[in-house]
Amino acid sequence: MAVTGAIFVGYVLLHMYGNLMAFGGADVYNTYAHHLRTFLMPMLPYQGFLWVLRLVLVLALVGHVFAAFTLWNRAQKARTTRYAVKKAVAATLSAKWMRWGGVALLAFVVFHLLEFTTRTITPGGDSDSPFTRLTNGFSLWWVFLIYLVAMFALAMHLHHGIWSAAQTLGWTSSALSRRVAKTLGLTIALVVSVGFIVPPFLILVGVIK
């Protein structure tokens, strides 16, 4: 769970940074989208790097979901009788929402891929320009709302997930390392979610067009 989660943390950081190219306008953003497809050419064919990335992400996703089910199963077997009263004594909101937050993120990724990768759903209209596809979609309030909720779920998932991964990997044995892990979890959660949502928000309000 921790290792596949770390792959996702690296990916969302890079993806968020890439999306900030929207600040540069249509030419900068479209050049960036083009580079993603020609990166490492001619060592790799056109879109080769993107396919390697997709393969890594799919494998990480399968591993992450498999680990989640294994842990869930183990937790259920650990107690076969039901609690009379079930109340977490010291769990943050992020920790309680890991399972359902994960399911929500999975649903979001499906919507997201249908919108930007397969272009099956094209809110606001399709276009051959990646920048126009981006601005078309986020000019609609309900598309923005879906992303806003998803980024909130992502922030919660990262906040608890990073702390939990640090614990699994044995990096929380002292008070200082625990504080570092907690701060890191909160910082990455905020940087990623805010960094992701700023360009769509500026598109919605007409600053980026």
Do residues 176 and 131 lie in contact, with contact meaning Cβ atoms separated by under 8 Å?
no
Residue closer to ligand HEM, measured from CB, 137 or 172: 137
DSSP letter for 103, please. H
Which C-beta is closer to ligand HEM: that of 104 or that of 172? 104
d(CA 87, CA 9): 30
Query: What are the tokens at 13?
Result: 């950081």
Least Å from the CB of residue 144 to ligand HEM? 9
Q: State in angstroms the smallest separation of the CB of 5 from ligand HEM.
A: 11
Closest CB 79 distance from ligand HEM, rounded Å: 32
Q: Which is nearer to ligand HEM, 23 or 91 (CB)?
A: 23
Question: Distance (Å, rounded) from C-alpha 191 to C-alpha 155?
Answer: 9
Instruction: Give residues in contact with ligand HEM (CB under 6 A).
Output: 12, 15, 19, 33, 36, 50, 54, 57, 109, 112-113, 116-117, 130, 134, 147, 151, 154, 196-197, 200
CA distances from 49 to 38, 42, 144, 187 (A): 8, 11, 29, 29
Report the nearest approach of ligand HEM to the CB of residue 142 (Å).
14
